[in-house]
Amino acid sequence: MNRNNPSTPACKRDPDLLRRGRRLFWGGLALFALGAVLVALWVLGHNTLDEIQVLQAQLEAVQPWLLLWRLLVLGVLLGGYDVWVNALADRFKFPSWQRQQALNQRLQVALLLLLAELLIGQQGLTRLVNWWAGDLTLGL
């Protein structure tokens, strides 16, 4: 494989880039696994019904603030999309075509984030399952 060929993927031309990508992937996976283990340990240590009911009451009390927080994060991510993409492109030395391709993905990223908010944050998946089970009101 010719290292000077522009059609050769950058990770095959630059072994440091390949190592950095692998470190990023495995590091992210390790952080996710560590977080999952910590959450599992916390749940196993706090399994009384009273504590769960107290936690549910506290979550219901802060639910509007959590919605505001999620909307603020969504606004910052989408409003500053060009800034974030350009900063990452500078950091990882994207070629100009790759930078432009990432900038053109703004609508897809916005739709993905909104879909994740609706399905996860607004309990859309739960409402959809309830609708499939026969509750035609969709829980509204």
Tell me the one-letter amino acid at 130. Answer: N
The CA distance from 42 to 47, in Å, is 9
- The answer to whether the predicted template modeling score (pTM) of the entire model surpasses 0.75 is no
What does the pLDDT read at residue 9?
A: 64
Q: What pLDDT sits at residue 48?
A: 63
> What separation in angstroms does the CA of 102 have from each of 26, 57, 88?
23, 42, 10
Check residue 90 and give its pLDDT: 92
Q: Supply the pLDDT for residue 13.
A: 66
Show pLDDT as tens, one digit a residue, over the chain (140 residues): 555 666 666 656 677 877 888 888 899 999 999 999 998 888 777 766 677 788 788 888 988 898 899 889 999 989 999 999 999 999 988 889 999 999 999 999 999 988 888 888 777 777 777 777 776 665 45
- Identify whether the C-beta of residue 81 lies closer than 8 Å to the C-beta of residue 107: no
pLDDT score, position 26: 92
- Environment class of residue 85 by beta-carbon count within 10 Å: exposed (0-12), middle (13-18) or buried (19+)? buried
Query: What does the pLDDT read at residue 58?
Result: 87
pLDDT of 12: 66
Concatenated DSSP letters of 8-32: S-HHHH-HHHHHHHHHHHHHHHHHH
